[in-house]
Amino acid sequence: MLSTKTPDTPEQKVLDILERNRINIAATLPCDRIKALLVLLEKNIQTISLTREENGVGICAGIYLGGGRPMMVIQSTGLGNMINALLSLNLTYDIPLPIIASWRGVYKESIETQWQLGKRLPEILASSGINFTIINSLNEIDRLDEAIKESFSSLHPHVILMSPAVWEGSMSEIPQPREICSRNVDLEFNSTIQKPELTRYEAIRTIMETIGDDLIVSNLGIPSKELYEIRDRELNFYMLGSMGLVSSIGLGLAIIQKKRVYVIDGDGSLLMNPNALISIGDYKPDNLTIIGIDNAAYGSTGNQTTCTQNQVDLELLARASGINTTVKAHSLHVLKEALRGKIRFIHVIVKPENAKCKEIPFSATHIKERFMKAVQN
Ligand SMILES: Cc1ncc(C[n+]2csc(CCOP(=O)(O)OP(=O)(O)O)c2C)c(N)n1
């Protein structure tokens, strides 16, 4: 992509460092202090705008698994939304993620709600085992280069706490309000959810009989164990934790890869992170299918009921999020047809039953390494 140069501004220096490190995608959520940096990033590298930072951890993990070099650019408060994901995903599977965090709450901060988290962040990161670098002024900007390199060589996240002092006096362009055009939502939706006849196990077996050499990311808990039992393969990425992030990882993979990506998600997990559907509806990658297996329960933890029992329709949630080809499957035949038709969201209605399955005998890093090798072949 052609670089739009604004020589000698702090923002340009940051962009130069990212380009030197071959960062090809930045997942962002704004902070007032980095608004000029975000303008420059949008003009020069692919950016993904997030609705919640935790979702970005999943999307960036998918991009990395698919062969990309992503990073995140956020406000430091967002780190509070990301801790579980960084530990259960990045630190467990060895997935790098450089994160520029505009460090609020400490330097010339007038917003009181920023103080408590801001001042404790170094301690929180240190005690979480997350590497971090503090950059207090523009003179220290080369430490950003070191931090990004450290993240990719250690295969771990690295947070760069960037003081607002870095940008002081910058002459960079700041964003202008965009024109909002009129728009129309034309969503006719009627649905019936019948008494379920299928099990999750039967649905996953049908998925495995229908798809070819496509990529699969599977939900934590029993769905991944059932998939392992039905057909283990290198192109299965088994989630062992990080509830809610399986569809985000699928999105990241679909953005960076030409291969087709299937996600086996669950109602509990989709309701924990509907942000994933919103981002998928926004980017609409045509090589991604989310299979929302709805047993109206948190099946893996004892079948406690979820809000799909009587209130939320996941297919409607997907449509309302901008995913426009959806279907509801009560039978294996409809599921098969939907998979063949490359429908983007398949809502599969199943009974809250778990097959008796053994544990997946692989470590997280083994699952990651063999998946990446197979994907990039
Ligand atoms: C943040 C977080 N909260 C709770 C859990 C415990 N937990 C693990 S799996 C699971 C249920 C997932 O339900 P769903 O996505 O519907 O899939 P199912 O097991 O029903 O197929 C829960 C609550 C967790 N791992 N992480």
Q: Ligand 1 centre and the CA of 298: distance in Å?
A: 6
Q: In the 8-state DSSP scheme, what is residue 182?
A: P
Q: Which atom of ligand 1 is nearest to the CA of 267?
A: 16
Q: Is 219 in the pocket of ligand 1 (CB under 6 A)?
A: yes
133 and 68, same structural domain?
yes
222 and 116, same structural domain?
no
3-state secondary structure of 125: helix
User: Taking the model in full, what pTM does it have?
Assistant: 0.97
Ligand 1 atom 3: the closest Cα is on which residue? Answer: 243
261 and 145, same structural domain?
no
pLDDT per position as a tens digit, 220-257: 999 999 999 999 999 999 999 999 999 999 999 999 99
Whether 82 maps to a domain, the answer reads yes
Q: Ligand 1 centre and the CA of 314: distance in Å?
A: 16
339 and 226, same structural domain?
yes
Whether 35 maps to a domain, the answer reads yes
356 and 308, same structural domain?
yes
Residue 16's alpha-carbon distances to 3, 5, 97, 261, in angstroms, are 10, 10, 18, 33
Band of pLDDT at residue 188, cut at 50, 70 and 90: confident
* CB within 8 Å of 181: residues ≥ 6 apart: none
Ligand 1 atom 24: the closest Cα is on which residue? Answer: 243
Q: Which atom of ligand 1 is nearest to the CA of 223?
A: 21
Mean pLDDT, the chain, whole residue set:
96
Q: Is 269 in the pocket of ligand 1 (CB under 6 A)?
A: yes
Q: Is 295 in the pocket of ligand 1 (CB under 6 A)?
A: yes
243 and 146, same structural domain?
no
Whether 189 maps to a domain, the answer reads no
Whether 73 maps to a domain, the answer reads yes
Q: Is 220 in the pocket of ligand 1 (CB under 6 A)?
A: yes
Whether 180 maps to a domain, the answer reads no
Residues in the chain: 377
Q: Ligand 1 centre and the CA of 189: distance in Å?
A: 28
Predicted local distance difference test score (pLDDT) of residue 274: 97
Residue ending a domain, choose from 121, 142, 167: 167
Predicted local distance difference test score (pLDDT) of residue 80: 98
pLDDT per position as a tens digit, 59-85: 999 999 999 999 999 999 999 999 999
Band of pLDDT at residue 35, cut at 50, 70 and 90: very high
209 and 318, same structural domain?
yes
Q: Which atom of ligand 1 is nearest to the CA of 306?
A: 16
* 262 phi and psi angles, rounded to 5 deg: -115, 135
For residue 129, what are the domain limits? 10-167
Whether 184 maps to a domain, the answer reads no
Asked whether the beta carbons of 360 and 240 are under 8 A apart, the reply is yes
d(CA 308, CA 328): 13
225 and 133, same structural domain?
no
Residue that is written with structure tokens 């780190």 in the block: 79
204 and 160, same structural domain?
no
217 and 71, same structural domain?
no
Q: Is 299 in the pocket of ligand 1 (CB under 6 A)?
A: yes
Per-residue pLDDT, averaged over 273-302, amounts to 98
Q: Ligand 1 centre and the CA of 251: distance in Å?
A: 20
Whether 187 maps to a domain, the answer reads no
Q: Is 308 in the pocket of ligand 1 (CB under 6 A)?
A: no
Q: Ligand 1 centre and the CA of 129: distance in Å?
A: 25
Total tally of structural domains belonging to the chain = 2
Q: Which atom of ligand 1 is nearest to the CA of 352?
A: 20
Per-residue pLDDT, averaged over 260-269, amounts to 98
CATH number (domain holding residue 14):
3.40.50.970
3-state secondary structure of 331: coil
Residue ending a domain, choose from 123, 143, 167: 167
Whether 186 maps to a domain, the answer reads no
142 and 221, same structural domain?
no
224 and 360, same structural domain?
yes
